[in-house]
Structure 1
């Protein structure tokens, strides 16, 4: 990681000389075809009354220089009506940018178009042009809109896009569909995130001043990967920044409920925790991965002193401590520029280094486990099996760096980008555990316990992108290619959980029902490599412009995962514990002294919680874009993906060598060749009105973790994730409840949209969509695990989803000129979903139905929100360099975990997010800017509930994030 940061700093130092340029002013812009949205190659841009002019390249971009002053810029192209941009101000040593100059075919009515420079700089209008002329259903937000809203990162900005919600400020969900069906890409390439089990990358690490645009594609094309259904988020970074960028930013965040709180809990970690990685303090003790390890059972190999030394090498800190919490803070530096070389080619660079340090403290955390009564069906109220309440503190560090170089000739462009993300989170929790009063719930004994949990998670991701784009034979052929390897690591070293059972009445602490003190080391490494080749041929069909696309891609993934777990055991009676976890590993308690405590690892001959998986995805595609008439365009395509996955792993019986155990040795667990047809039809009713229809077929594949025998226990909630390979039967009847055959979900998608584009930046659209799921995968509460809380991904049956979207963006000047600087935007998504239950689920629900409850065999899809609302009121005063806005987002109550039999379903409650943002630029050339934000103004609470028929909702999880205030300052160097 240190080497990577050094590399980024060196690249910045080498590139900084590019910031300086001629004392003349520079004008940069882009020219596009107003009919197709395509860049115009070889258009001419001339400053009227001068001899200064330039010709556009294959991106439609041009650059020219001029003395300080005010000019009229004329843009022309053969067969197109010219555009004249007036009042274009040029400053010495500065860059003036005009955005997306659209030329239209010449006609008698259309001789010359005259627009002002202010309109030409409307980058949101450029995004509207992209939406208007796109070949599939998209929504998005441009760099100009990002600047206007004052959003510092892509996570905040994405909330403003139609049908989008952002979980935890990091992960994008489209149309309310969960992470499984949403995909995030960077510059058109699949990049895994810091959490390898998610399709989405953490988008909050991308500063807005390095983003060219962010688009959300809601319908498929043959050239796109097939494993997205709700939407594909593509974050495009600037390769050649139009203006020189060298910004330094600092920010502070304050939450009255969390910060400067002396009750905040944490524990001593390593000296480098503030950088997002452990310095070795939590490393696995030497000899802990030997077989056998030093213990009383290996005295023939180790002496008593060696056993004592080994046990003593474990960190004795098992309990959290109180410490005053600090406020959130972040730092950032971004740089970018482009320079015209002597040979007429261009060299550009971007660089960004971001550091975020956030502290959370929740003093009223609640987790609950509930079941239905098994005696009779006349009582609808649920019984608790386990309730946890207490406090939790966490410190999260994110260190992110992006550096890129781009080189452009008249006919080609090459880009090289390196990204490194480093994330470390220290977490501590103290919980009171209440297990089923009097043991009246099935499988529960009834006890009280006090639990300390100490958790550290370290994630690192390094991605490299090398890409090229070539335009051949007068731009009739385009060839582009990308190679992108990614290395991911996730370490969770020395996770510690210490529970003391509390005897009723006398407050005596002891080991036992609360579980023995336990610690674990988890290690994950993954390699992800993507290679793409795309070819585009422009030609004529039916005497109209057409475009043939074909190409292929190859994705290779390999993951290794291992968990080592150690329980503290005692030869004799347990010592008399005081309730202080940090007094457990005292010398008098450790073998061979006193109670002779020692660490005992998992007993399998081979580690059951270890696996290696490899996946290969080879794809080819072909598509044809053709205009069937002057108003009707069709894009028809076919994609083929051959996906193969191999797995090496075993269940617990197989790890012990028991008869009937399952052992996989590099065996195929997925092997399928799928065809993914797509069709997009666009009917241009007139210049500003489209009707779109789209069909595409997509797929959702199980993750590596889901397709395994892994068993992963959360050290705070004690909830256990079980891999999908585990089979489950009814202990009484022997009926197979789950056969362990987890497979892909295949989806057919239909979209219909009517859209109308009004004044620049204004839009109104109505969409309808339908999706049909074959073998949907959902997270299910394992019905046979009644003494523990265990969950498993399963194919639950076929599903259907029907929805509608409305989007509008309107300036309020039509009411009165007083409101000319105000605009209102909003979007609403409604979705109706249902799963046709399997016979096992339906019969299980009927067996435990309450009196009067009707089981229909259908239920909502897990992870699918019934509605999403985004709304915003913005004020933008260009003269005073001030903008502000109030933004609201809510997602309807959503099925989170599928229950069944004795377990009720879990629903995520609505979270009403109301946020305020204000940004003021000031100083010379508006170099300084201050941003003020308030998040969660309504002080809403994040809750999930068990929901039962005619029963009171009961808590599954509850956190109160409080109200957060933040202040940021950015300074732009010239």
Structure 2
């Protein structure tokens, strides 16, 4: 009897499960049509039934119904009711209604009726948010990214007005460089794989995990104060609208870099393909003392064992490179845990994995260094050192992201974890030509080899909670995000053979020097946390919003460098400049024979520890001062303390966790938005922001680039007229903007902006270092910048209805910048003033482009699944490194980037997609020049990325 009862219960469970599985789901998001914000508590009912629910704190709802076609009725107090007709539901499938807008009611409530197809406007919510936002912003939504078919975040960022993408990965805004641009992830600081940049590498994020990307072009109190040009925030998805599993593969071919038998490389470790070294390049854990490595018979065993503990490979070799390739998989879904519960709990999950392997080869690389001649009547520049050669690089990038989110109607908790692993193996061969006629040069020629491996990893955990107190009108949002990052250069190898007068080769300290090996280790911990509290209320019947919050950011970095230099007990001459001849076993000192030994050459000034504590508090109030004049007033306060442990290069200044920056700053902001019409705004704002030195800049360290041989010196290093007192830059920002919006994401705007800089930081050539290429970050005086910006995005249906799927967009930014030099810089320039030249005490700002042009034309056809576009970008000639004395200024030349993309979706549900892209269609090279009064521009750096063709295939299950 009991068995029969158990069987009956089991059968009922199975039947109910089958019945439930045969149902379909309707999911959607409801927005306030006047503000673009989601609405909480909207009643959503299936017409003529008792089936209904309410939107949660994200404005989302879910209804489980039998297969069929339904009408939905949406209602909310003080808003016009909305009826959505013809919603088709299939068994075991999800029907998504992306953007449902409720508009504020008039005196007489009217029921608005739309069809399900009509409300699938992919950009509606973002367009409304741009129009009603308290900041000047632009962005791109997940829906539009999916429509266009961009594979990575950097590709999508190119479509945001005012954005420039540098080196294929870094996002800059309005032509301002990295120092004045900032990227955040889920509204929190996160360091990229390059810990010395504000900008995050955007090519590491697949677009299928992105909810939206938004660029704020002016500061408000709830944002971090350390940006000026713009802040891009990337928001990752937490609750996918439907179950999705997506896989993708792609390959690309660059005739210059791929399938090239001359590609330069060297033997590494067995795990290089995973983006990290397996220990092949590791420094021994126990390094003998310098005394035990000196060439004496008693030390012979130590020397022989130590030298032989390293790889004997010091030179690059040629090998055939493979095609570039990448692969990825992502999945996500949300599960209704108890659909009949009033709390409607849901569980969402996402997972993404990506792998990318790329080759880069350039056999026409140039690094040059030029100086002015002493003769005042001769304006031409003379080279001091030229390096011409080839560089090969293999780059591997692995990304893993996983997340869980739990949500009820008024509470949400989400947890996301991400790990990025990057390994780059670089081999270069150069011919060095040092000019003895230039100031400070000895004059020599030398063939050289450079080998480097850089491994970087980033692990980020993001925990976020949002809680809505509906009756009280309060919302609480808290976020915590620790990040652990590592950047190591194990075993950088350099060897250069100085050619003597007899055509033979040797090692000379006064010329190309002796072979060396260097290990650099950098580890950093970044922990960001913030709490935001928002209160919605009314002023004279108009909506208002009060926001208060507190944030804390803690960073700590540990940097260490170890250098081993090869020494010779006697003069040795080689007939060939072949690195494989150097470390032969018979050449290593053994007490009687051989001549090679190694000794540590590390400098304590190149190692440092540093940490930052940044505590912030803000209050902001948004209200209508007049019926059409929205006013946003805010104040942010930040207490920023940076501490440093290290010592100067001469050892006279030693810091032990000493404060090197200590500021308590107020950052006021006020913005006015006058609503000229429903679709037009006139904006004006003032704000005060800051740009702070990085850990590397606020150090004594000397860091040598192993490829170009240039040397970075930390800002604490006292040299020339510089006192080692590097300070923050304070910026006053004034912005004015007129903007007009149309449907389907179309808009036009015109802006004027002015920025005043106090103590701007720029890279300056160290004039004392006549024999080497050295530069340093310094405060350079007072600066100002003014500019205009014009943006547009318009469908071509204004010409003909047949062109409705074509869109043309672009933006042009024109700026004029000026820096008033310090007395030291002005005098150093005057000392080498040429005949007929009159040096002013002002010049252009470093890092600021005089113009930026972004333009694109695209075709998107939803029905056919075809999307294609041609996109162009260029920045004007930009001062990169400030000269002085005998050193001319160093400029970046314009790089005309023209790229083409095409993707086609196939199948009834458009689940299969093929992508085709052509990058750098014009075959442009990246060029940097030295410029001086009436002198011919001289090439300082030349890199040719080549033209690449890629094809990819993806499928969504």
Q: Same fold (TM over 0.5)?
A: yes
* Cross-structure match for 1:214: 213
Structure 1 residues 864 and 531: CA distance shift in structure 2, 3 A: same
| SS of corresponding position for 1:608 | helix
Aligned ranges 1:99-114 → 2 under 5 Å: 99-107=98-106, 111-114=110-113
Q: Which deviates more from structure 2 when the two are superposed, residues 939-948 or residues 94-103?
A: 94-103
* Cross-structure match for 2:700: 709
Please say if 1:332 is aligned against 2:295.
no
Structure 1 residues 110 and 550: CA distance shift in structure 2, 3 A: same
Is 1:510–1:577's contact at 8 Å kept on the other side of the alignment?
no
* Cross-structure match for 1:319: 315
Q: Residue deviations 1:31-83, cap 9 Å, x none?
A: 12222222222212234455443311122111123344444433222222223
Q: 1:928, 1:149 → 2: CA distance?
A: 14
Q: Which deviates more from structure 2 when the two are superposed, residues 354-363 or residues 868-877?
A: 868-877
Is 2:425–2:452's contact at 8 Å kept on the other side of the alignment?
yes
Structure-1-length-normalised TM-score = 0.94
Gaps of 5+ in 1: 1-17, 655-660, 730-736
Q: Residue deviations 1:153-212, cap 9 Å, x none?
A: 011111121111111111111111111111111111111111111111111111111111
| SS of corresponding position for 1:759 | coil
* Cross-structure match for 1:12: none
Q: 1:68, 1:801 → 2: CA distance?
A: 61
Q: 2:716, 2:587 → 1: CA distance?
A: 41
* Cross-structure match for 1:694: 685
Q: 1:535, 1:716 → 2: CA distance?
A: 50
Partner residue of 2:911 out of 927, 931, 935: 927
| SS of corresponding position for 1:752 | strand
Deviation at 1:718, TM superposition (A): 1.0
Deviation at 1:249, TM superposition (A): 0.5
| SS of corresponding position for 1:308 | helix
Q: 2:939, 2:368 → 1: CA distance?
A: 6
Is 1:574–1:595's contact at 8 Å kept on the other side of the alignment?
no
Deviation at 1:472, TM superposition (A): 1.4
Deviation at 1:119, TM superposition (A): 3.8
Q: Residue deviations 1:523-551, cap 9 Å, x none?
A: 01111111211111222334432221112
Q: 1:298, 1:742 → 2: CA distance?
A: 46
Deviation at 1:292, TM superposition (A): 3.5
Q: Residue deviations 1:773-813, cap 9 Å, x none?
A: 11000111111111000010000111111112111111111
Gaps of 5+ in 2: 1-16
Deviation at 1:97, TM superposition (A): 2.0
* Cross-structure match for 1:234: 233
Partner residue of 1:498 out of 490, 495, 498: 495
Q: Residue deviations 1:420-448, cap 9 Å, x none?
A: 11111000000011111xx1110111111
Q: Residue deviations 1:503-530, cap 9 Å, x none?
A: 2562545444111101100001111111
Q: 2:502, 2:951 → 1: CA distance?
A: 51
* Cross-structure match for 1:798: 782
Q: Residue deviations 1:694-717, cap 9 Å, x none?
A: 211111111111111100111111
Q: 2:110, 2:470 → 1: CA distance?
A: 31
Deviation at 1:924, TM superposition (A): 4.6
| SS of corresponding position for 1:93 | coil
Deviation at 1:89, TM superposition (A): 3.5
Is 1:287–1:294's contact at 8 Å kept on the other side of the alignment?
no
Deviation at 1:758, TM superposition (A): 1.1
* Cross-structure match for 2:170: 171
Q: 2:643, 2:553 → 1: CA distance?
A: 14
Deviation at 1:878, TM superposition (A): 1.5
Q: 2:804, 2:574 → 1: CA distance?
A: 74
Q: 1:972, 1:218 → 2: CA distance?
A: 35
Q: 1:269, 1:298 → 2: CA distance?
A: 33
Deviation at 1:952, TM superposition (A): 1.4
* Cross-structure match for 1:246: 245
Q: Residue deviations 1:646-678, cap 9 Å, x none?
A: 111012321xxxxxx111111111111000111
* Cross-structure match for 1:734: none
Q: Which deviates more from structure 2 when the two are superposed, residues 157-166 or residues 21-30?
A: 21-30
Q: Residue deviations 1:847-880, cap 9 Å, x none?
A: 2122222212111111111111111111112221
Please say if 1:762 is aligned against 2:761.
no
| SS of corresponding position for 2:497 | strand
Is 1:680–1:693's contact at 8 Å kept on the other side of the alignment?
yes
Structure 1 residues 701 and 456: CA distance shift in structure 2, 3 A: same
Aligned ranges 1:412-423 → 2 under 5 Å: 412-423=411-422
Q: 2:737, 2:842 → 1: CA distance?
A: 29
* Cross-structure match for 1:460: 457
* Cross-structure match for 1:591: 589
* Cross-structure match for 2:714: 723
Q: Residue deviations 1:105-161, cap 9 Å, x none?
A: 222687233444344222222211110111111111111221222210011111121
Is 1:499–1:511's contact at 8 Å kept on the other side of the alignment?
no
Deviation at 1:608, TM superposition (A): 2.4
Deviation at 1:685, TM superposition (A): 1.4
Is 1:53–1:64's contact at 8 Å kept on the other side of the alignment?
yes
| SS of corresponding position for 2:909 | helix
* Cross-structure match for 2:605: 608
Q: Which deviates more from structure 2 when the two are superposed, residues 586-595 or residues 640-649?
A: 586-595
* Cross-structure match for 2:656: 665
Q: Which deviates more from structure 2 when the two are superposed, residues 230-239 or residues 872-881?
A: 872-881
Is 2:147–2:862's contact at 8 Å kept on the other side of the alignment?
no
* Cross-structure match for 1:9: none
* Cross-structure match for 1:675: 666
Partner residue of 1:533 out of 531, 548, 552: 531
Q: 1:752, 1:22 → 2: CA distance?
A: 55
* Cross-structure match for 1:753: 737
Is 1:757–1:764's contact at 8 Å kept on the other side of the alignment?
yes
* Cross-structure match for 2:384: 385
Deviation at 1:963, TM superposition (A): 1.0
Partner residue of 2:473 out of 470, 473, 476: 476
* Cross-structure match for 1:968: 952
Q: 1:110, 1:857 → 2: CA distance?
A: 67
Please say if 1:369 is aligned against 2:369.
yes
Please say if 1:441 is aligned against 2:438.
yes
Structure 1 residues 86 and 940: CA distance shift in structure 2, 3 A: farther
Q: 1:73, 1:952 → 2: CA distance?
A: 72
Aligned ranges 1:887-906 → 2 under 5 Å: 887-906=871-890
Q: 1:933, 1:41 → 2: CA distance?
A: 42
Structure 1 residues 240 and 293: CA distance shift in structure 2, 3 A: farther
Is 2:564–2:599's contact at 8 Å kept on the other side of the alignment?
yes
Is 2:345–2:409's contact at 8 Å kept on the other side of the alignment?
yes
* Cross-structure match for 1:555: 553
* Cross-structure match for 2:153: 154
Q: 1:74, 1:844 → 2: CA distance?
A: 75
* Cross-structure match for 1:849: 833
Q: 1:504, 1:243 → 2: CA distance?
A: 74
* Cross-structure match for 1:10: none
Is 2:244–2:331's contact at 8 Å kept on the other side of the alignment?
yes
Q: 2:115, 2:98 → 1: CA distance?
A: 12
Structure 1 residues 194 and 797: CA distance shift in structure 2, 3 A: same
Is 1:721–1:792's contact at 8 Å kept on the other side of the alignment?
yes
| SS of corresponding position for 1:552 | strand
Deviation at 1:348, TM superposition (A): 0.4
| SS of corresponding position for 2:826 | helix
Partner residue of 1:632 out of 619, 629, 648: 629
| SS of corresponding position for 1:452 | strand
Please say if 1:306 is aligned against 2:302.
yes
Is 1:709–1:722's contact at 8 Å kept on the other side of the alignment?
yes
Q: Which deviates more from structure 2 when the two are superposed, residues 447-456 or residues 662-671?
A: 662-671
Q: 1:225, 1:36 → 2: CA distance?
A: 23
Please say if 1:813 is aligned against 2:797.
yes
